[in-house]
Each structure stands twice: as structure tokens, then as C-alpha cells.
Amino acid sequence: MCSLPSKAQQQVLEFDPNVRVSGIAHAYWAVTHARQPEGTAVSNPQSATFYQMQHLDEMSSNLHDSVDQEREYKKVTVRLQGSSDLAISINIKELRAALGLPNYTLVADGIFRSPQPPPVPAKAVDDIAHINGAESD
């Protein structure tokens, strides 16, 4: 998918400079506009989904900015051929390149939440009583 806004989208963005559209939000905007009847004027989406996409773009941008501020070297403890622990400094960018990883952390704080298990009921209820809405003692 194209990462640059179309001419029509660019005109909307120039009209309203407060709207920030990049990566994820732009892709969503392009898909939703493509599903509209032909001849529909391009307008800034006003849906909650679009706002969520903008938020994800902002979080991703902050994440990439923090990578630039990240220390170039980090200490890692290794054991070579059964020796005692040895602390060495490793260039993080080179390590990520060698492992074929992107040059940013794969754990995106704040973008996706950890799954939360459902709360455990305070009182055990038999299946039959639960169906009828009654609690057993």
C-alpha cells in the first residue's frame, strides 16, 4: 500500500493542518475511501477506528524516536566454553542486523496491552444454579 497520501487526501490535510496521518491511519483512510461509492468526496474520517489508528501511529513514532536515543552499546553477560560469567558490550544495531530484526524494540509499550484473564468469581456456583440465576451455598 502506498505510504504517501493521494492528491485528494493531501488537499484535505492541507485544509486541516491539525490532522496527522501517517502509516497505519493512512492505510485505513485509503481502504475506507476506496469502499465508498465512486465520486464520493475525500474527507477526513471521523470514526473511532481512525482515531485509534492515529494513536497507534503516534505511539509507533514515539517508539522509533526512543530507539534513536537508545544507547548504542549494552552490556550482556555471556559464558564462553564453560568459563565464568563475562560481561561484554555489544553494539545493539549490529546485533539486530545480524539477527534480521528491525532496528527498534519489538515490545511496544503502550501500543498493545497484555491479555488479562477473566476475574475469578468470589463464590463458586453450580452450573444448574447458575443457569437458573440462583446461587448455591
pLDDT, one tens digit per residue, over 101-134 is: 877 766 655 555 556 667 777 887 777 766 666 5
Query: What's the pLDDT score for residue 3?
Result: 46
- The CB density around residue 76, as the number of other CB atoms within 10 Å, is 12
Rounded Cα–Cα distance for residues 33 and 1 (Å): 14
**Domain-by-domain residue ranges, the chain?**
71-100
pLDDT 10s digits, 64-92: 555 555 568 888 898 988 888 999 998 88
Q: Which residue has the higher pLDDT, 137 or 120?
A: 120
Query: What's the pLDDT score for residue 2?
Result: 45
Query: What's the pLDDT score for residue 1?
Result: 44
Residue 34: all three cell numbers together: 476506496
E strands along the chain, which residues? 73-78, 86-91
Query: What's the pLDDT score for residue 98?
Result: 93
Rounded Cα–Cα distance for residues 47 and 40 (Å): 17
Query: What's the pLDDT score for residue 11?
Result: 60
Mean per-residue pLDDT over the chain, rounded: 73
The residues that bridge with 91 in the sheet, in sequence order, are 73
